[in-house]
Amino acid sequence: MFGNTALDVAISLIFIFLLYSLLASIVQELIARVFNLRARLLTKALRHILDNDRRKDRLGYLGQFTFFTWFYEQVWGIIYFFLPFFNSPFLKRFYQHPGIRSLRENRASSRPSYISPKLFSQTLMHLLRGPAYDSTRHDEAQLVKEHLEQEQLQLGPETRVHLMNLLEDAKRDAQQFRIKIEQWFDEVMASTSGWYRKQTQVLLIFIGFLIAWQFNVDAIAITRILAKDKKAREQLVALATKRYEAYGQYKDELKRSEVIRYDTIDLGDTTIIRADTVNQVTLEDAALDSIYHSLSADAADVQNILGISRGHCRDTTDTTFIRIRARMDAAAGKLLSPAEQEKYRQAMRTTAQRKVGCYTHPYQQNGWLVFAGWLITAMALSLGAPFWFDLLNKIVQVRATGPQTTTTPDKSKSK
């Protein structure tokens, strides 16, 4: 029996984390849209490979300390948020190229959130060879080499050296040079995906704490409730079994991706077929709104089952509260009978004894413990909905295929 109880507690708790992880993912997606975070991260990656961020040299001796490096990154991150092309002339020229400008959605989203490797190499080649290039008179690779050697392109020094090495590796063949640029871009974008996941996880921690605070998702109190309350445990397991498949669809919708096209790259002795490129698709506002309302309804059901939510207790010394209370007392004196007035006064005395900012469950009397519960919830939500869905799916299957408890008839009653 203890095993079944522990399993049901685990299913219920994981289901709650999955539910609020999906809500946190929706909030994170909305923030990413409002602030165009994907486009900003792409600009950061392009600045990293084209400009090399030469300002780091100004840290000097302090650059060897992690704290100063981190502080430097935050300060320049704020500067680049408002001035994305500050002191980066080549990056500005890259984004002003007609091929890149054609990708912008509107003035508010003037920078694209996705650039294909083929477009990157094409745009870079146009900038490297210069506007005077004529295919009937010029050797494209030779022109690129001359411009790189003249150091007039305002590229980062490391980028310039790397491009010269790639040109030599391609044996000064323009087509092979383009292919090597695309491969280089693919490698950088793989790292950028890791940056975005890290950024998302940090953002989810803050969003998760706000959700835990707003909805009072106290992991410690909820675990104690589930361990003691059999009815709440059974209701949550039933809800989890009923809804987790739909949550899997929500999770897939929020992380849906598509392959734009397939490119075949001929390297002479080998041929590479590359999916160019897997691009995350953002949901339409109507679909996002539908998922949000469905999850909000489930969150309300969970709070009702657990009997845990944020209390809205009023400070009895507040002047506004005193005025409202005086009006209520005057109305009660006119409308209620003496017996009903006594019941009213008793109810008001009980209300006045409540603490300011109180919570609705006896397990939440220690404020520091409540804060710790919120913090645990925030860390759990930062793991993301896919993690909790996979874990819930495995445990539900274990519970479904595990040994079932059977009741044996009482022989003493049959006699």
The answer to whether position 80 is within a domain reads no
Residue 414 lies in a domain: no
Do 290 and 320 belong to one domain? Answer: no
Closest CA to 196 of 279, 89, 108, 277: 279
229 and 141 in a common domain = yes
The pLDDT score that the predictor gives to residue 105 is 66
pTM of this prediction? Answer: 0.69
How high is the pLDDT of residue 408? 45
In degrees, rounded to 5, the angle at the alpha carbon of residue 6 between the alpha carbons of residues 373 and 214 is 25
How far is Cα 134 from Cα 124, in angstroms, rounded to an integer? 16
Positions in the chain whose pLDDT score sits under 50 = 1-2, 258-261, 277-278, 312-314, 316, 354-357, 404-415
Instruction: Please report whether residue 58 resides in a domain.
Output: no
Whether residue 133 is found in the same domain as residue 233: yes
Distance CA 233, CA 80 (A): 50
Please check whether residue 185 lies inside any domain of the structure. Answer: yes
pLDDT of residue 186: 86
Structural domain total, the chain: 2
In this prediction, residue 56 carries a pLDDT of: 54
Range of the domain at 337: 312-358
Last residue of a domain, one of 270, 304, 338: 304
